[in-house]
Structure 1
Amino acid sequence: MTGDDPYRRARHLAELGRHADAEAELRAALAAEPGDADLLTLLGYVLRRHHDYQAALEACDAATAAGPRLADAHAERAECLMALLRDRDAIVAAGEAVRLAPYAPAGHLVLARALASAGRYDEARAAARHGLSLAPQSVDALLTVAGVERGAGRREEAERAARQALAIDPAAAYGRWLLAMLDAERLRVGRSMRALHDVARDDPARPDVISMTWPVRSLLSALRRWFAAAVLLVAAAGVAATWWRPAAEASRLLAALFAAVVAGFALRVLIPAGRLPWRCLRLVPSRLRRATLGGTATVAVMLVLLGAYAMTGLRSFPVLALAAVPVLWTFGAVERAGTRPDGHR
């Protein structure tokens, strides 16, 4: 291929983030060469970066049909399958890429991401480390290792690999995002939000607004795990007070304690985050936004009910708070359904 051929022009446009122009270039070229597997693979990549995952998969299916021995086509098909949450199929496709090009690091890295997406972290770490051994100075390999280690809960190893990648390419957006999310998991709220804001500022065409809402969504996720048990304990103590009077005072004290702990934790997370998560929440998909706001409102109501019970002793308050728990869980299920794997790759 020459330096001015459609593939190179489209690749350059895609690297600049001009996905619509790259797609137009590719479709024009494919009108003349509809069976070009390289063009079809690149079209799948461009469409995936544009979040049109089903169309991207169709392009990759056509690419693997046109060039069944093209490892890149199978690797890109695996990426599309991961985006569609078809992890098992993604592992098969990535495995085919590795079989066709066993000494190319790209296939091993895609396989590592597919295995990690399926929760098979030991295998994912082995695949990622093997890919890195084939390209020790590869930023993509180091960041794949970092992403897999983070998913496996090995934060120190993830941070080490991400920093090694950033030492090679300080502008690598995914590496900076990974460090920001590692800070988030350690509740370094202000630093995490500043880093995410900087990543978005440097790539305004693709701001990761979902990640920047993490303080609100992580708070709700934590509360869904234990707040229900706390409310149940208060309600049970309130019921026990009908035949054992000392339980009444204990249940009111528990209600006050739990309400104070939740309020304090919320302030600990939300105050350093500032207004940015709430501003970004307006930009996320509507289902995710409604679920997050609904969950926030439900928690607020539950806190008010616990506080009211602590002050008045009326047993209907903890019962109403307990009745709100399924509502909170429902909003959580809707929120999880409204998010996709991160689009940094």
Structure 2
Amino acid sequence: MVKVDESLQRARALLQLGRPAGAERELRGVLAVEPQHDMAHCLLALALVHQGKGLEAIAAAQEAVRLVPEHWYPHYVAGQVYYRLRLPNQAAAAAEASLAHSPEQASTWELLARAHMLKGQWRQMADAARRGLAIDPQVSDLVSLLSMAHTRLGEAEPARAAAAHALQLNPESATAHLASGRAALAFGDPRAAADSFREVLRLDPGFGPAKDLLVTALKQRNPLQRILSNLRRRYRGGWRLVFLLPVAPPLIAVFVLIALMHWAAWVSEAVTVLRLARAKATRLLFEGAEARVAMACCALAVAGAGVLVLGIALGLEAVGTAGVAVMALITAVQEATHTGSPRGRKVLYGWAGLLVVAIAAAVIAGAPVVALLGVYAGLGTIWVAAGVRRFFLDHNTAEV
């Protein structure tokens, strides 16, 4: 028994030191002697999930629950495993099972709040965080989660107040700085947000999302980029207006305005990214692909303007219109680049390729009508992309 206890202590220490493989070896040794040891199965589940061994971790957690179903901790560990594997429904169910046995555990309320965060259930996330804080009001991470829930709900003052309180409780918490940065970014202070995300990366250099958020904050410091991005988000759903066209043809002007607004925002995005990618202080924040896409879009703008001027100078309507179509390709390229689904991205890059072929054919055939259709199709990619994203999102959800 003494050796088993010592092995468990070593396994806990190894987990705290970030050495899950060593912890797994210790725990395998314990289970070889006592295969029904519930705590060993719990710790083994944590060691396995930290190594990316998802199925084995689930099996170990379920075995711990089977051995002592009346105890809160195995259910809590199972919830942690599911949460790390991004299985929010199972994580929430395990957290609720744990709370049914021991509702006074603040850590389990935090787990439940995080599970609701994965599900995008912001009100439930806030409620779970408050329940945990009622038990222990000094838990910085719970206050941070409450702030992030308020941010997602659009509640500016509670979000800022909770973030400030989290930082007061633990100034060295990466989660607290993340909550503060998210609130600042959401409610119009990109400079403060950038400072917060830099602090997150200082405290936790391996936290990838903080880099993306920092890049977003740096972009939003550009007033034009901020205005255009806000307008673009507001009118992304404008495709629904198409159903009113038969009774209100003037709405075509609204569609054109929305498309031009998106195009201007994407041009601003390309210029901003290229500027940040070339600056010494921020160049390391951008992967090569981001900088290359930004450069390609800037090149499309310059090339398109050049072809337009050439067409006007030569009196060739097809060439001039093709120049506008080349500039419109910026929307197609940016929409493809910013599509998360790999298959959706391939479809949109294929769409952009078809537009290039159509533009070239219009110039060769001297067909300004075809070039003009290329302009409309390029600018209208915002609605094509919305449909592609929706299709692949629904398809992926069905597979899961």
| TM value normalised by structure 1 | 0.68
Tell me if the contact between 2:341 and 2:392 (Cα under 8 Å) persists in the aligned partners. Answer: no
Amino acid at match of 2:70: R
Matched, 1:318 2:360: no
2: distance between equivalents of 1:132 and 1:35?
35
> Residue 262 of structure 1 aligns with which residue?
266
> Residue 42 of structure 2 aligns with which residue?
41
| CA distance 1:202–1:23, change in 2 (3 Å) | farther
Tell me the alpha carbon deviations over residues 204-259 of structure 1, each in whole angstroms, 9 at most, x when there is no partner.
Answer: 4xx122442345799999968745848x98xx9xxx8xxx9xx89x9988765553
Tell me if the contact between 2:148 and 2:182 (Cα under 8 Å) persists in the aligned partners. Answer: no
2: distance between equivalents of 1:30 and 1:70?
20
C-alpha displacement at 1:132, in angstroms? Answer: 0.6
Amino acid at match of 1:259: W
| TM value normalised by structure 2 | 0.60
Within 5 A, what are the aligned runs for 1:4-43?
5-43=6-44
Within 5 A, what are the aligned runs for 1:158-173?
158-173=159-174
Q: How many residues align?
A: 319
1: distance between equivalents of 2:124 and 2:169?
26
Amino acid at match of 2:283: R
Tell me the alpha carbon deviations over residues 16-47 of structure 1, each in whole angstroms, 9 at most, x when there is no partner.
Answer: 22233333333333332332222222222333
C-alpha displacement at 1:167, in angstroms? Answer: 2.0
> Residue 180 of structure 1 aligns with which residue?
181
> Residue 388 of structure 2 aligns with which residue?
330
Tell me if the contact between 2:147 and 2:159 (Cα under 8 Å) persists in the aligned partners. Answer: yes
> Residue 309 of structure 1 aligns with which residue?
none
Secondary structure of the residue that 1:5 maps to in structure 2? helix
2: distance between equivalents of 1:295 and 1:187?
34
| CA distance 1:301–1:189, change in 2 (3 Å) | farther
Structure showing greater relative contact order (alpha-carbon pairs closer than 8 Å, 6 or more residues apart): 1
| CA distance 1:124–1:196, change in 2 (3 Å) | closer
More helix by share: 2
| CA distance 1:202–1:74, change in 2 (3 Å) | same
> Residue 213 of structure 1 aligns with which residue?
212
For structure 1, the residue ranges without an aligned partner over 5 or more in a row are: 306-311, 339-345
Tell me the alpha carbon deviations over residues 135-191 of structure 1, each in whole angstroms, 9 at most, x when there is no partner.
Answer: 111223323323433443434423332332322222212222232333443465565
> Residue 103 of structure 1 aligns with which residue?
104
Amino acid at match of 2:384: P
2: distance between equivalents of 1:50 and 1:200?
22
| CA distance 1:253–1:138, change in 2 (3 Å) | closer
C-alpha displacement at 1:57, in angstroms? Answer: 2.1
Amino acid at match of 2:266: V
Tell me if the contact between 1:288 and 1:334 (Cα under 8 Å) persists in the aligned partners. Answer: no
C-alpha displacement at 1:100, in angstroms? Answer: 0.9
1: distance between equivalents of 2:288 and 2:34?
42
2: distance between equivalents of 1:157 and 1:297?
42
Within 5 A, what are the aligned runs for 1:65-214?
65-186=66-187, 188-189=189-190, 192-193=193-194, 195-204=196-205, 207-214=206-213
Secondary structure of the residue that 2:171 maps to in structure 1? coil
Tell me if the contact between 2:232 and 2:261 (Cα under 8 Å) persists in the aligned partners. Answer: no
C-alpha displacement at 1:333, in angstroms? Answer: 6.9
Say which one has the larger Rg: 2
2: distance between equivalents of 1:271 and 1:337?
37
1: distance between equivalents of 2:117 and 2:57?
21
> Residue 330 of structure 2 aligns with which residue?
none
| CA distance 1:252–1:69, change in 2 (3 Å) | closer
Tell me the alpha carbon deviations over residues 255-306 of structure 1, each in whole angstroms, 9 at most, x when there is no partner.
Answer: 6555334323554677568434433979xxxx9695798699799999999x
Moved more, 195-204 or 70-79: 195-204
| CA distance 1:95–1:43, change in 2 (3 Å) | same
